[in-house]
Structure 1
Amino acid sequence: MEESKNANKQEGIDEQLLRVCGNLLKQHRLRLLCAESMTAGYLSSLWGMEINSGNYFLGSIVCYHTAVKTGVLGVPAAKINKYCAESAVVTLRMLDGLRKLVVDAEVYVSITGLAFKTENAKQLRSIGTVYYAFHYAAQTTIFKRHFAGDAATIFIATCNALLHDLYHWLLQALGGKKLENNTNW
């Protein structure tokens, strides 16, 4: 698991990076499917704004509530009770459930985290702790990130970091072939 801390305030979504990720997925004919907890569909709305998304984006399952994580994605309730919904373990189990539920994608993404205070007394992670996991071609990775700020700032920073990490991780998984005019990342 990779971890970083980022206290920089994000002004908005990096639309150029969003296009770069979209181009990578489109050029390699990879279909993308997401499972979102903390971001509650925000990540999906970003993919929907990318001009090539119709070529690669299959959709997203918003599993904000535990009942959707367990009932739709098959995340074991015992894992949620033991580790909390916003944990690396649950993020990986969401990814597993997503892969079983929809087999038509090549790239899978799952995300959980804390954008504001929770009433769950078992949750010991700080606000701004985020986990996201990727799967492609029998390879799975998970990232742990930490962002500061209000919920909106955490959402934006999370999505920008996810786009950056997905691009680099997928690029490496594809054999390191960069797309033309995309050397900034």
Structure 2
Amino acid sequence: MKLAIKMLLEFDGEVIFFKEDTIRTLELRRQGRKVEALPFLIYNWTLNRELNLKNILLLKPQILDNVLSKAIEGYLIITNINESKLEMFIKTSFIVEELNFDGFDEKEKEHLKECFLIKNNLFDHRGNLVNLPDSGGLLDQNAKYMYFLSKYRKVLIEKINEENNKKNKAVR
């Protein structure tokens, strides 16, 4: 299931279509090269000019800042959840039929639900990530998803190991 999140920004009768941060754009940000991340985030617009870095830089700085801040929002929401709280929540997902999102604010709930949707069919029986959630290579993957999937994989491998230990003890 591919759920690449697409967002839009309207200004002066124009629309910019962009997506959430990817591994690549996060790395560019970390290197202090956020302007270079913009062509990887903005994938379409209604402006009557070619979509390229030169033309992107002609946009008002406040528009560019708005794109950059909205693109990283989901990643920041997920990564700001306490790691042990997130892992415990993931653990409960293996035992309950319906997830209980009590203790999370509305934005956290929204992003967690989205992350749980994308995890299906991505892991094999050993906990290996065998498919990527979005098209493209690793650097093109949604950063929020990949962070969540790393936590999910950790919990999944712990669960697989627990099950294997139970089976090994039963055989003895």
Assess same fold via TM > 0.5. no
Task: Please say which structure displays the higher CA radius of gyration.
Answer: 2
The alignment's TM-score, normalised by the length of structure 2, stands at 0.24
Q: Which has the higher helix share?
A: 2
The alignment's TM-score, normalised by the length of structure 1, stands at 0.22
